[in-house]
Chains A and B, each alone.
Chain A
Amino acid sequence: MIWYIVRRLLQGIPVFFGSTFIIFSMVFLTPGNPVLRMFGDRTPAPEQIAALEAKFHLDQPFLTRYFLYLGDILQGNLGTTYAGQSVNEILARTFPTTLRLALLAVVIQLAVGVLAGLISGLRKGGLFDNVTLLVTLVIISMPVFVLAFVAQWIFGIQLGWFRPTVGAGAPWSDLLLPAIVLAGLNMAYVVRLTRASVIETSQNDFVRMAYGKGLSRGRVIPVHILRNSMIPVTTNLAADFGILIVGATVTEGIFNVPGVGNELFKAINRGDTPEIVSIVTILVIVYVLVNIAIDLLYGVLDPRIRYVK
């Protein structure tokens, strides 16, 4: 197991360098002088340009600048926005809220998704199954911002069950509606994966064997069927996380949740390139780490994975 962990961590290193390199190259290859863009319509004096270029290392060659940028990230220095705010401070302030929102979303998504998938898998072709398939199809085809607006309009404005936007301090009760929207994105996939997996597992000999030796449904379904059906769902959590990041940006923007996604949303609207790049870099690093963590979890769940050379 320890070698499996070490190997997986080592595989993450080139991905880290590669993805930061790509993000950096995209910024580097942008046409136009970034210093001039900072000034907007005004034309700065040549000395001013030179001073700012030196400050941001713009006078250095490409690779030197990449390593300077990498050094900054590794030291935890994420730079400042156009307005001069420290990105570190912004992230420190907003990250806990996003974490709470994401946790709530993942809990809802797994609880509802697995339960619905299990029931429709066990009663394949039944009424519940058909209704669930239809509902998931509709949810999958709605982009996240449409889903968010529909939820905000129906539950926030028409019915008044939730506050349409999140209030100060982002209490859990306010986060519930955005979390449901965020969960809805991946829930459809969780339902479908669980359902397909339950159907496949139920056809196995060991399930027939378990019934054959007289075990009750109450024991066979959770222990023999559900547990074996969870492996694909766990693997898919990694892919889900990418959707979650993008979804959080849109959902937090719409519900005004004071989180990282909302900061990114506002930065995009302002066209604040340094802030966008810093936040995207951090999100990509978090994404890579989460992927590794889920792979490790997968190794725990399925012993066969660990021993593959």
Chain B
Amino acid sequence: MSSKNPVRTAPHFVAEVDEGGLGAVDAVRVSDRKSNLWLDAWRDLRGRWMFWVSAAFILFIVFVALFPTAFTQVPPNDGCMLSVKSQEVADSLGVPIGTRISDHGPLPGHPLGFTKQGCDVFSRIVHGTGTSLSVGIIVTVLVAVMGVVIGAFAGYFGGWLDSLLMRLGDIFFAIPYILAAVVIMSMFLHERNIWVISLAIGFFSWPSTARILRSEVLRVKNLDYVMASEAIGLSKFRTMFAHVMPNSLAPVIIISTVGLAGAITAEATLSFLGVGLPNNIFMSWGNDISAAQNSLRTAPFTLIYPSIALSVTVLAFIMLGETVRDALDPKARATR
């Protein structure tokens, strides 16, 4: 054997890496700034005015939701009055005693006027922020967790589990989630609260997240680092949670931001239909819009102000979602 393959002793002339032009190509520039998907996305986001405007507005909304009393001292529900009864109130509002307050326009201390029940419109909007935002966040987290876990198991383990989970997704997808929520909420007539309505909305909206995550997992699971982690003996679960899932999350973040806007809309729609949160306990923009519809001709502002609050909040989340999508998805950038 050795006679057939003699050890090469002849000197062979190969240029040192440094000498050739290839050195510059192969070299890893350690001093260069780090780069990965998230850092690139952040650099992209930093330069967009739409990102800063929507992010600032969302922070503001969160602040309003956490500290509503910093913005208004007027209670949203107590002290509502159809007409001015006492001299003391009449003096503070600057109107004669006996004035009808129901659907009345702005008065001192009440910048946006009064609802049909004589409650302060501005205060109800401020106090309704928390409801919308909590439902939005709970639904989004619920949908993201269900979608990610189901999608990851289906995509990574494949086989019969994949078929089963995805057919289940088809079935849930076949029921428009607002209709399902209508059925659930009309069942829970006496137990309506933020958790029930969030579950009602979220329980039927996970399939789209699961589908997106699954297709992303299918792409990621054939990459080298996944094979490497299996090769060094990591269990399938460990590989899935430590390597596959984190690298498949970008599309879920995009769909979740827009989904948050969708959840806020869904809560308002359910409240509008009359199967949302009870309006004597929870302030909800949907409830207020619903209650104001009979005053559309006489006092349109009672309907328009909460509608503006709702639409602008939804707009902020959609704008954030779009900028995040553009930053995370280079393909979306091409058609911008």
Contacts and interface: CB of A to CB of B under 8 A. Distances in A.
Interface string A191-209: 0000110011000000000
B61 interface: no
Interface stretch (A47-55, A73-81, A271-279): A271-279
Interface of A is mostly: helix
Interface string A274-303: 001100100110011001000000000000
A285 to B, nearest CB: 9
Contacts of A26: 180, 183-184, 187
Contact of B269 (A153, A246, A269, A276): A246
Question: Among B182, B188, B274, B334, which residue has the most Cβ atoms of chain A within 10 A?
Answer: B182
Contacts of A291: 174
Contacts of A152: 296
Q: Which of B167, B261, B265, B289 has most chain A Cβ within 10 Å? A: B265
A9 B292 CA distance: 46
A286 to B, nearest CB: 11
B303 interface: yes
A79 to B, nearest CB: 15
Contact of B179 (A18, A153, A280): A280
A144 B290 CA distance: 12
A22 B175 CA distance: 9
A173 to B, nearest CB: 21
B175 A268 contact: no
Contact of B187 (A30, A146, A268, A288): A30
Interface stretch (B34-42, B79-87, B146-154, B307-315): B307-315
Contacts of A22: 171-172, 175, 180
Contacts, number: 131
A273 B187 contact: yes
A250 B175 contact: no
A246 B319 CA distance: 24
A271 B189 contact: yes
B335 interface: yes
Q: How large is the interface on A (under 10, 10 to 19, 20 to 34, 35 or more residues)?
A: 35 or more
A243 B310 CA distance: 19
Contacts of A27: 183, 187
A113 B289 CA distance: 29
A102 B170 CA distance: 24
A23 B182 CA distance: 11
A205 B334 CA distance: 16
Interface in A165-197: 195-196
Interface string A242-261: 11011001100110000000
Interface string B294-329: 001100100110010011101100110010000000
Contacts of A153: 296, 300, 303-304
B261 A141 contact: yes
Contacts of A145: 268-269, 272, 289-290
Contacts of A280: 179-180, 182-183
A138 interface: yes
Contacts of B187: 26-27, 29-30, 273
Nearest to B292: A149
Interface string A13-34: 0110011001100110110000
Nearest to A199: B335
Contact of B289 (A149, A195, A199): A149
5 contacts: A145-B268, A195-B335, A246-B179, A273-B186, A283-B176
Given A276-B182, A287-B175, 16 more contacts: A15-B167, A19-B171, A22-B175, A26-B184, A26-B187, A141-B312, A142-B307, A145-B289, A153-B300, A157-B297, A199-B334, A245-B179, A268-B186, A277-B183, A280-B179, A283-B176
Interface of B: 167-168, 170-172, 174-176, 178-180, 182-184, 186-189, 261, 265, 268-269, 272-275, 289-290, 293, 296-297, 300, 303-304, 307, 310-312, 314-315, 318-319, 322, 334-335
